[in-house]
């Protein structure tokens, strides 16, 4: 009989992660990568010591109340924690960790891709060539917005925001940011701090969101905030769809107040928003900000590091509850 802790891994992770997990734990895998229903997830949690879930698994207060006493730790394969009711988990005595830092470069890359793709009408151009309907060219054909030298506003200057800022400076962009606290001059690296969000929005020819979804930030990017942007601004979101009032964004894209948007996240996932998908001036990706081979290994290993620390009687480095 195995004395290894029993670990439930809820989704198919990188091969290297699953191999490493099997060396230390009695692992319950999901080779079909099936999204468990809440009832299925609850059932699979009944006889395990630890769970390594992704953002796709919801641990609501109701779910947490039905978790077994033997479940001691949830080591998330994500940075975001809006799928976990941290207060309920803490009260239940279940340790919760996440995987910060390791996906910052990959997510910032996707932000740059979305910014460039939205500004230069990449989605329209790709569809035109693929459909065989590219039949002419002129100086007025497929004219987009230039990125170089423009003002970029960043909401949330954490790890991803800081890397986005660094990458944007490669395009000679003037970086402005809003954050709960001002960064040191070294971390700012020339970026201009706005204590007031409205002040940031008023100068943001490009706006990129890099803040978590919390009760305070949910739906904050609404009609009122959009109205503060310069006319024709380009909007990018790789954080969480919950930050955005999608109806207000759609109206702004239709009116031209926002000239284009690059989106990797949506209120409804998977699936997205068909009304956004119908607009030519939206460049869309299916929540793949961290989807590189290198990052998937790093995320899996970071989650396992937290599990290893816990079962060795140590404090996990990335404990959040």
Which residues are tagged catalytic?
A: 240, 269, 287
Task: Specify burial of residue 157 (Cβ count, 10 A radius: 0-12, 13-18, 19+).
Answer: buried
Helix (H) or strand (E) holding 164: helix 159-169
CB 161 within 8 A of CB 186: no
Q: Helix, strand or coil for residue 152?
A: strand
Dist CA 52 CA 302 (whole Å): 11
> How far, CA to CA in Å, does 97 sit from each of 49, 78, 81, 287?
15, 9, 9, 21
Contact predicate 175/112, CB 8 Å: no
């Amino acid at each position: 009989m195995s004395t290894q802790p029993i670990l439930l891994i809820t989704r198919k992770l990188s091969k290297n992660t699953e191999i490493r997990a099997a060396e230390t734990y009695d692992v319950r895998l999901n080779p079909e990568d099936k999204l468990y229903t809440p009832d299925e997830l609850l059932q699979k949690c009944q006889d395990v010591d630890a769970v390594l879930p992704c953002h796709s698994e919801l641990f609501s207060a109701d779910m947490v109340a039905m978790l077994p006493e033997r479940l001691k730790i949830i080591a998330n394969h994500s940075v975001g924690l809006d799928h976990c009711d941290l207060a309920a988990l803490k009260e239940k005595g279940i340790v919760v960790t996440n995987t910060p830092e390791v996906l910052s470069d990959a997510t910032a890359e996707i932000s740059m891709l979305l910014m460039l793709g939205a500004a230069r009408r990449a989605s329209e151009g790709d569809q035109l060539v693929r459909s065989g309907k590219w039949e002419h060219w002129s100086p007025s054909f497929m004219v987009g917005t230039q990125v170089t030298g423009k003002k970029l506003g960043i909401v949330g200057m954490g790890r991803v925001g800081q890397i986005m800022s660094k990458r944007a400076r490669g395009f000679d962009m003037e970086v402005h940011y809003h954050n709960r606290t001002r960064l040191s001059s070294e971390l700012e690296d020339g970026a201009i701090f706005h204590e007031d969000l409205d002040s940031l929005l008023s100068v943001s020819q490009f706006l990129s969101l890099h803040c978590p979804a919390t009760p305070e930030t949910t739906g904050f990017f609404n009609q009122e905030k959009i109205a503060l942007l310069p006319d024709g601004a380009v909007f990018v979101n790789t954080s969480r769809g919950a930050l955005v009032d999608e109806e207000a964004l759609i109206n702004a894209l239709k009116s031209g107040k926002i000239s284009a948007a690059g989106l990797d996240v949506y209120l409804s996932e998977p699936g997205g928003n068909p009304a956004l998908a119908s607009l030519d001036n939206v460049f869309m990706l299916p929540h793949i900000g961290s989807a590189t081979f290198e990052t998937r290994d790093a995320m899996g290993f970071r989650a396992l590091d937290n599990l290893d620390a816990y079962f060795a009687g140590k404090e996990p480095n990335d404990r959040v509850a």
